[in-house]
Amino acid sequence: MVTGRDDSHHHIGGPTEKCGVVGVALGGRDAARPLYYSLYALQHRGQESAGIVTHDGFQQHSHVQMGLVGDAFGADDLDGLKGEAGIGHVRYPTAGDVSKSCAQPFAVSFKSGSLGLAHNGNLVNADELRDELENFGHAFTSTGDTEVIAHDLARNLLEEDLVRAVKRTMERIHGSYALTIMHDETVLGVRDPEGNRPLCIGKVDDGYVLASESAAIDTLDGELVRDVKPGELVVLDPDGSGFDSYQLVERDNTAHCFFEHIYFARPDSVMNDTLVYEVRRGLGRKLWEENGVDTDVVMPVPDSGRAFASGYAEAAQEDDATVEFAEGLMKNRYVGRTFIMPTQDERERAVRLKLNPIKSTVEGKSVTLIDDSIVRGTTSNQLVQLLYDAGATEVHMRIGAPPIVAPCYMGINMATREELIASDKSVEEVRDTIDADSLGYLSIDSVAEVLEKSRADLCLGCVTGEYPYDIDGEETDRDVSRPVVGAEAPLSD
Ligand code: SF4
């Protein structure tokens, strides 16, 4: 990961989502601007590069640039993206190099037509598929897994119709994916059979939208229709009049990323029919029930802990009306995300640049500080110190998620096992390291309860070390194995 890169939506050095995807099909106006606004709404899901691919019925148009959405597109670029259908992508790299060759959407023309692909997630069997496809003469231009999906699909399209070709590719790829795809002027959305990464369908006046999060649909003044189902293919009518649905793969259990609800998604997005903000407040309430501590004041780490703290404080006040809920840390909004700190030492100073305590809400008081997660622990340690320096008598830390003990292979830039503070430490040892008076996390069962899911339908890999996919060298939490590809199972003929 690019260390020192700050994601102002979350906290410093925290996990980063890899990508956001969008697709639109409209009747009667160009798709470029709606795609551009949608990408703005999804900017928190990736800041490394942004791209749009459209199709005007004759040919594909593509503009992909490194940088933030606002910097990647000028008015001329948008004007050049002709056509009423298109897909878009914001990216934070996890698989593949940090270079333009891996920026997305991936666009290419094959014998079977033109294809554009935008991918959120991460395949765990991309290397096997790449080897096999290379043996069949496919030449790759990037190291990313998205190009592997594109080539596999292109190959299947030579023999099958669109729906069958997608199904066949889905049976061969293993891992997490929410995809928006353009095949000529047809826009498709696909969600992996485990539903690991989110994707939803929205309606606007003159067409339909597919997006990682419903906040993108809101930005277009549209209505959320529903989530794309795990294993479902959605095909938008090119004239914007509707969409078709095909349930291509079905599993007994899903593996939704619980971390989307806790950390990545915008609080104003709706996922699994629930507003993310309300889920976070519910997790905060549960945290009080499970691990509450009596203090003078409850305060969030901005902005990541805010919804949790509001739920936690509300529940605490129901038990003790004198508990204060206050903003105790002020954020400097102008520490940009391009603020690159070359050394670990300077990186640690970033917290002080970014957050300043409001003395009056802290001085002489016992404080509960609420955040959504602890990753490396460096930030938490500095925040605790900051509050002590501002005169807090006690600092108790409460976290709206279970301890993160293992890395993510599904496309979240989580840090390595060695970097994760809880991977080899007990809660008491973590408390000692961050120097707080007490530390409490939320249990896995409580997370499942608040998300109204059974544990078996969630991905909990990063908090249990057991994954819903067959990953080399890691344990699984279900009966799962990779599809056989390569020499043992050659493509047909
Ligand atoms: S390992 Fe954690 S972050 Fe990764 S997909 Fe699973 S729940 Fe989400």
Backbone Cα Rg of the chain: 23
List the Cα angle 272/209/72 in 5-degree steps.
110
The residue contributing the CA closest to ligand 1 atom 2 is 462
The residue contributing the CA closest to ligand 1 atom 8 is 257
State whether the beta carbon of 459 lies less than 6 angstroms from ligand 1. yes
Cα 415 to averaged position of ligand 1 atoms, centre (Å): 12
Residue-wise pLDDT tens for the chain (493 aa)?
A: 233 333 333 444 455 657 999 999 999 999 999 999 999 999 999 888 999 999 999 999 999 999 999 999 999 999 999 999 999 999 876 555 555 667 899 998 888 889 999 999 999 999 999 999 999 999 888 888 899 999 999 999 999 999 999 999 999 999 999 999 999 999 999 999 999 999 999 999 999 999 999 999 999 999 999 999 999 999 999 999 999 999 999 999 999 999 999 999 999 999 999 999 999 999 999 999 999 999 999 999 998 899 999 999 999 999 999 999 999 898 877 765 444 445 666 666 677 778 889 999 999 999 999 999 998 888 899 899 999 999 999 999 999 999 999 999 998 877 789 989 999 999 999 999 999 999 999 999 999 999 999 999 999 999 999 999 999 999 999 999 899 886 555 554 4
Which residue segments constitute the domains of the chain, with CATH numbers given? 19-251 (3.60.20.10), 274-451 (3.40.50.2020)
Q: Given the residues 19, 178, 297, 412, select the one marked as catalytic.
A: 19
Residue 371 counted as an annotated binding residue = yes
Cα 330 to averaged position of ligand 1 atoms, centre (Å): 30
Question: With contact defined as beta carbons under 8 Å apart, do 19 and 92 qualify?
Answer: yes
State whether the beta carbon of 412 lies less than 6 angstroms from ligand 1. yes
Cα 408 to averaged position of ligand 1 atoms, centre (Å): 5
Concerning whether 102 is annotated as a catalytic residue, the answer is no
Residue 102 counted as an annotated binding residue = no
Task: Give the ligand 1 atom nearest the CA of 258.
Answer: 7
> Cβ-count burial of 348 within 10 angstroms (0-12 exposed, 13-18 middle, 19+ buried)?
middle
State whether the beta carbon of 264 lies less than 6 angstroms from ligand 1. no
Among residues 261, 354, 376, the alpha carbon closest in space to that of 308 is found at 261
The residue contributing the CA closest to ligand 1 atom 5 is 257
State whether the beta carbon of 410 lies less than 6 angstroms from ligand 1. yes
Per residue in 208-240, pLDDT tens?
999 999 999 999 999 999 999 999 999 999 999
Per residue in 366-408, pLDDT tens?
999 999 999 888 889 989 999 999 999 999 999 999 999 999 9
